[in-house]
Amino acid sequence: MAIERRGILFVVSAPSGAGKTTLCKELVAAIPGVHSSISYTTRKPRPGEVHGRDSYFVDEGAFQDMVQRNDFAESARVYDHFYGTPRQALTDMMEKGLDVLLEIDTQGAMQIKKKFSDGVYIYILPPSIDVLRTRLIQRGDAPEDIQRRMQKARQEILNYREYDYIVRNEDLKQASQELQAILQAERTRTKRVDIGWLERNFITDPTSI
Amino acid sequence: MAIERRGILFVVSAPSGAGKTTLCKELVAAIPGVHSSISYTTRKPRPGEVHGRDSYFVDEGAFQDMVQRNDFAESARVYDHFYGTPRQALTDMMEKGLDVLLEIDTQGAMQIKKKFSDGVYIYILPPSIDVLRTRLIQRGDAPEDIQRRMQKARQEILNYREYDYIVRNEDLKQASQELQAILQAERTRTKRVDIGWLERNFITDPTSI
């Protein structure tokens, strides 16, 4: 019987090319009880992406209807597309005691932080700015995209103070381990423990001392 | 090259019989860069204990001299003996960027917390109050000692809110893993990162963006 506690919201941001997607996949595979939040987006699915698993792929009309109904915990335009995090799915999971992993850019993360101040905010750094550029070149991004992403990375990294943790992805195995450690550690934080459970089990039962 | 940061003080408390000593030994063995603080005490060494490795075993006169010289970050009387944590050794290690593990009872931990508010305070819970009593019986403690330790445990556990993390030692392997995760996670906290290092490497270098 584990210590009873509420679900935790883990928010992970990183500049494009820092390895966030790989790290988050490994995290969900390695740690039971962590579920990815699935975002809505107006961008087209990439090869292999599945509607309802990777994202909910919707057209702009459907997206704007959801904005109007206040269905999103945050939504943002990133480059030419809209992205939104469904509010209800997030809170439903947390109320069940499940932890939620939200991969999101800095502007979205800052919106989420206003509403979920109890969440855990993690920023993934590339090994260096030079390595970031090299990775973007190697994955075949167009030069103007690289330029744009590098500028965005620089702006984003300036916001690092808004995050609780900084994981530097120099070595994938090490970074993956650090990210997992953050999840496990946060689960044991005193402020997350169900106080009623603790007091019933350890303090108030007069027959057991 | 890891992210540069200051040394962290990890303070671990637990009721007698909760498994703190075993957990801390495993921690130091598993995680590089964590060093145990060695306390001064007026109690006699137990079989196998070595002066300068397990504790500094001193007589009461020498101990009180150190109290007078303000050599202790904290000192306390626990049952019939005095215990003290040498201040200089603690700060020396942290200034070198080394992490320090301090195993200490609740009253000592609360003294330390006043001086080292940036430390990480971890409380280890036994699986239950009943298991704690059984463990004390099994290790052959005298009935009056058991009674005294159980009362102390109850008082101590009431202070759990003063700690940042609560690790429940129901399964040694699981608890050990959680404790290690806390150390690793705390090393990646934004507030501990050397800001100068981060800005030099990621933000202010105009030639690299």
pLDDT tens digits for range A166-208: 999 999 999 999 999 999 999 999 998 877 777 777 766 555 4
What is residue A2's predicted lDDT score, i.e. its pLDDT?
63
What is residue A118's predicted lDDT score, i.e. its pLDDT?
94
What is residue A209's predicted lDDT score, i.e. its pLDDT?
41
More confident residue, B199 or B203: B199
Mean pLDDT on B32-39: 93
A165 chain-B contacts, CB cut-off 8 A = 185, 188-190
| pLDDT range class, residue B1, cuts 50, 70, 90 | low
Mean pLDDT on A110-127: 94
Is the Cβ pair A203, B158 closer than 8 Å? yes
Residue in A52, A48, A47, A49 with CA at minimum distance from that of residue A36: A52
Residue in A186, A204, A202, A1 with CA at minimum distance from that of residue B15: A202
Dihedral angle of Cα A196, A201, A205, A209, to the nearest 10 degrees: -140
What is residue B2's predicted lDDT score, i.e. its pLDDT?
62
Would you state the CATH architecture of domain A9-37+98-202? 3-Layer(aba) Sandwich (3.40)
- Classified as helix, coil or strand, A79 is coil
A12/B180 Cα distance (integer angstroms) = 22
Q: Is the pLDDT of residue B4 over 80?
A: no
B163 chain-A contacts, CB cut-off 8 A = 190
Complex ipTM, two decimals?
A: 0.87
| pLDDT range class, residue B123, cuts 50, 70, 90 | very high
What is residue A1's predicted lDDT score, i.e. its pLDDT?
52
The angle formed by the CA atoms of residues A117, A154 and A166, to the nearest 5 degrees, is 45
- How do the domains of chain A map onto residue ranges? 9-37+98-202
More confident residue, A147 or B101: B101
Dihedral angle of Cα B21, A173, A85, A80, to the nearest 10 degrees: 150
What is residue A116's predicted lDDT score, i.e. its pLDDT?
94
| pLDDT range class, residue A84, cuts 50, 70, 90 | very high
A188, A198, A205: residue with CB nearest B167: A188
| Maximum C-alpha span of chain B | 72
Q: Is the pLDDT of residue B167 over 80?
A: yes
What is residue A208's predicted lDDT score, i.e. its pLDDT?
44
- Lowest mean pLDDT of A49-63, A136-150, B43-57, name the range: A136-150
Of all residues in chain B, the percent with pLDDT exceeding 90 is 61
Mean pLDDT on A135-147: 87
Is the Cβ pair B185, A189 closer than 8 Å? no
- Closest residue in B to A162 (Cα–Cα): B190
| pLDDT range class, residue B129, cuts 50, 70, 90 | confident
Residue in A9, A40, A11 with CA at minimum distance from that of residue A103: A11
- Closest residue in B to A146 (Cα–Cα): B209
A166 chain-B contacts, CB cut-off 8 A = 3, 188-190, 193, 198
CA-based nearest distance B130→chain A, Å: 6
Q: Is the pLDDT of residue A127 over 90?
A: no
